[in-house]
Chains A and B, each alone.
Chain A
Amino acid sequence: MSSEHINPDKCIACTICQVHCPVAKVTPNFLGPRLIGPAYERFRLLDVTEEESLHYCANCKNCDIACPQGVAISTLNMVARCEYTEKNGGKLRDWVLSHGGFLADLFKYIPTWLKNFGMHNPVTRLLLDAIGISKKAPIPKFDKHFRLIYKKLKQPKLDKKIVYFPGCYVDDYDYSIGLDMIWIFNQAGYEVIVPKQFVCCGLPLVSNGFMKDAAKNAAKNVSVIKEYQEKGIPVVTGCPSCALMFKKDVPEMFPDVVYDSYKGGVMDAQEFLMGCVERGELNFAGKNSTKSIIYHSPCHLRAQGIGLPSIDLIEKLTGSKIQNAQAGCCGISGSYGFKKEKYQIGLDVGKELFDTIKNSNCEIVTTECGTCQTQIKHGTGQKAYHPVTVIRKLVENK
């Protein structure tokens, strides 16, 4: 594994990251990104006792977004957390939460209702609560396995190909997003390939301290990406966290895995689709929806530094005007908000977003990230949809 320490020298202690940290704002348990990241890193090299606070970093990456010096703050924290976990052993709870992709793959042939009964009955929830997964947490329900459905799917034969990395949320909890994604790419003239070798991008593994497992996943995924990149077929994902993992974390944490022409590895699907619109490959003539839509930009999307392509995409393709919530982090940060000691922190972080959504009185809530959707539903009662799903709904008048 690469437990190579990241040089903390770029940090000038300006503390801008402390101001922008959504977690530090709501709880004293987290001392803030600068302190736990670059400042404490200087002492980690001295082998001092780790701060409890390290475990409160949500890895939402708002510190990385805010940092004017380009310090890999969240990665400093995650490398430290992984080292801690390796030395002291991980929690069962964290293993379970981070190996969702692995577990779901293992159980993919088990009927969905049975899986959900097994997972969501009160007894299981109490057991999970006992190991540290809050019984109040909005753990998403299993859906049919996306790639099993994909196998049986008939797509039109199209010249242009694109590889789609579905990510665990689409694979296990909401296959419909995957189908909507295939639909829109077909509309743009691309046949969608979903390689069966893809595994979890590894972000939940890193966030929960399992660097070695994440390294294995990165190696597997990157070899698949390479195969298609060499054929000139682009790789995209609709999930901002998966995209960020491939673009930023994989090269930062596992530099040995990436190859010279890897570049970003995986592109944001919405950004790619905007390119299609601009090239004239994709349009739905005459669409002029009057629905009111509010959009939440996931932290991991903002951390990619690609703007907010989904807003443009929905507006261009459907004629709607989008309200950008601009209300910060939803608080879930993958599995963070499911954890017993962090459940309330997650809700406190998300409060501004929930209030903004509620007060907007919009008919449709949209955001790319699956767990953001889950948290928004939990915090506002309103279901949130993936932007591509919204486009399909509006275009097909569903």
Chain B
Amino acid sequence: MISTTVIIIGGGATGSGVLRDLSMRGIPAIMLEQGGLAYGTSSRFHGLLHSGARYAVNDNESAKECIEENMILRKIGKHCVELTEGFFVQTPEDDKEFAPKWLEGCKTAGIKTEEISLEEAFKLEPNLSRDISKVYRVPDSCIDGFRLVWQNAMSARRYGGELYTYHKVVEIITESGKVKGVKALNKVTNEIVEFGCDYIVNASGSWAGEMVALSGLAPLPISPDRGTLVVFNHRFTSRVINRLHKSSDGDIFVPHGSVTILGTTSAEADTPDDKTPTSQEVKRLLDIGRVVFPHVDDYRILRAFAGTRPLYGAKGAGRSASRNFNIVNHSEEGLAGFVSIFGGKLTTYRLMAEKVSDVVANMAGVTAKCRTAEEPIIPDVSEHTLSKAKKYFPKGAVNIVADRIGADFDKVLDNIEKSNEKNELVCECEMVTLSEIKYVAQDDASYYLNDIRLRTRLGMGTCQGTFCSLRAIAALENENIEMKLKPSDNIKNFLQERWNGLRPALWGGQLREAELTRAIYLSTLNFDGEGYEA
């Protein structure tokens, strides 16, 4: 049995935030995640670091939380946050009466707004519709959810926190009204692993209700609400573009690194696993998006994805449900040491982690205060390292790599220098080099090519894995770096995951792309024909 003080269920933004927070307070903690890091809702992010302006009218409390956390994350999460700013634009379809209410709400919440001339707006964002009649600037930003989770987990590790990915909690062990530990299924080996602990933080998002039920308590009223998003191949806006109206579907465009993401929808889901978007949803998003970007049909859709928001409250509340988060200390229901946290949003993940860690620290009698609002998630990469890296990385990639792997950059550079090899680009679409792939592959939390993808963006660009998956596997084989699947299965698994996102928007340029992938893997490499070969 593996013993610790706190078990955190769920390796998303909240879970890894809690792991980091507790570890920084010196409280031993282990995080268990049923898939890879950010497997659930945290990997289904829109990438918007809310200024809160979106909630200014309907949910002013959330708006306040957002702007406060937005300002904190800009400081502590420099490597995950891109300071883009955002626009709220009024299209002919938007109610003109909304703007004054919205301005009032932003003022109340403390969100800075500034009206800018249409001329300036169109100069800054030339692809915007010329039918837009009003533009306000707000401190929205963009955030990389994968990176945020990884960097929190990495930071937690440095403070002694531990994480087990691909471990699904199947039993919560209690004894005389108190939690004693959990049993988890190692999904790779199919073994049951037992963990002993004094406290459990249930940060499993859309699965939080299920986890509470496992403990034998009455289920929580958490209803998974499905949101679908569309990823475009290039960045046709440099700012977050919101519609100036009552929050609705498909009204936010977010530039995210090399791509643009449009979302979202909101619809009741049956299970937290309901992650398959439909073509109807994609088409509907495009119909709505066309009002803001009239040439949206000329931009190639890379893929679509869906995730479930863990909304608290009555089923079907959808957009009217609060985006506030909730903490339930189950001691009050007779199970001591068990705390659930759910609801909320990516923007407020740190605050959520702080509040729930306060509850745990209080129970454990630890007085150390939360420091996550001051201490950067990862230390800055030194100028020396950056300039040294220019020798081995494409010029434009140096800062991108620094943001991706942060403090580990020095080790990656050391490895390159030692091995004395050419640091070739493995993934050209997202500029991921051999050294990064090798380094990340050797991390304990990297089981599959998909785990490497989340940390490096391997296979997330134009070709969606067509060239880089084979190259990456070949490179790892060359170096005798073993993963949990044999190479051909690892590629299949990877391409299948990519395919899931391609399918709902398979037309135009991306259909051509998919045909190329099929030709390479199914024809030339005969990936689906293994069974027929003697």
Contacts and interface: CB of A to CB of B under 8 A. Distances in A.
B233 interface: yes
A178 B58 CA distance: 75
B509 A9 contact: yes
Contact of A39 (B235, B259, B429): B429
B396 A43 contact: yes
B467 interface: yes
Contacts of B394: 31, 51
A15 B298 CA distance: 22
Contacts of A49: 395-396, 398-399
Contacts of B462: 11-13, 38-39, 42
Contacts of A40: 396
A31 B431 CA distance: 12
A211 to B, nearest CB: 17
Interface in B123-143: 126
B461 interface: yes
Contacts of A123: none
Contact of B234 (A7, A14, A35, A69): A7
Contacts of A34: 428
A75 to B, nearest CB: 16
B513 interface: yes
A51 B234 contact: no
B299 interface: yes
A307 to B, nearest CB: 27
A243 B396 CA distance: 35
Contact of A50 (B395, B399, B429, B463): B395
Contacts of B512: 12, 69
A92 interface: no
Contacts of A51: 394-396
B125 to A, nearest CB: 12
A43 B431 contact: yes
Contacts of A9: 233-234, 298-300, 509
Interface in A224-271: none
Interface in B394-437: 394-400, 425, 428-429, 431
B428 A7 contact: no
Interface string A40-75: 111101101111100000000000000001000000
Contacts of B299: 7, 9
B234 A15 contact: no
A46 B255 CA distance: 9
Interface residues of A, number: 27
A9 B511 CA distance: 12
B265 interface: no
Nearest to B466: A13
A10 B233 CA distance: 10
B235 A13 contact: no
Contact of A42 (B233, B397, B467): B233
B82 to A, nearest CB: 8
B238 interface: yes
Most A CB within 10 A of own CB, among B233, B400, B461: B233
Contacts of B396: 40, 43, 48-51
Contacts of A4: 126
Given A4-B126, A35-B428, A45 B467 contact: no
Contacts of A45: 234-236, 238, 258
A189 interface: no
Given A14-B516, A42-B429, A42-B461, A8 B398 contact: no
Contacts of B316: none
Tell me if B's interface is mostly helix, strand, loop or mixed. loop
B257 interface: yes
Interface in B206-248: 233-236, 238
A120 to B, nearest CB: 37
Interface string A15-46: 10000000000000001001100111111011
B8 to A, nearest CB: 34
A48 B258 CA distance: 11
B238 A52 contact: no
A42 B400 CA distance: 13
A125 B344 CA distance: 70
A52 B395 contact: yes
A42 B258 contact: yes
Nearest to B234: A42
A12 B428 contact: no
Nearest to A52: B395
A50 B397 CA distance: 10
Given A7-B299, A49-B398, A12 B429 contact: no
B285 to A, nearest CB: 17
Nearest to B425: A35
Contacts of B516: 12-14
Most A CB within 10 A of own CB, among B395, B425, B462, B509: B462
A4 B123 CA distance: 11
A13 B428 contact: yes
B233 A8 contact: yes
Interface in B428-476: 428-429, 431, 461-463, 466-467
Contact of A48 (B234, B400, B428): B400
Contacts of A50: 395-396
B428 A42 contact: no
Interface in A316-336: none
Contacts of B400: 43, 48
Nearest to B238: A45
B431 A13 contact: no
A122 to B, nearest CB: 37
A69 B511 CA distance: 12
Most A CB within 10 A of own CB, among B238, B396, B467, B516: B396
Nearest to A13: B463
Contacts of B461: 39, 42
Interface in B91-145: 126
List the 7 shortest-distance A-B pairs measured between CB atoms, nearest first.
Answer: A48-B396, A9-B300, A13-B463, A42-B258, A45-B235, A12-B513, A49-B395
13 contacts: A4-B126, A7-B299, A9-B300, A11-B462, A13-B429, A34-B428, A39-B428, A42-B234, A45-B236, A45-B238, A46-B258, A48-B395, A49-B398
Interface of A: 4, 7-15, 31, 34-35, 38-43, 45-46, 48-52, 69
Given A38-B462, A42-B259, 17 more contacts: A9-B234, A9-B299, A10-B300, A10-B509, A11-B462, A12-B512, A12-B516, A13-B428, A13-B466, A31-B394, A35-B425, A40-B396, A41-B234, A42-B429, A42-B461, A45-B258, A51-B394
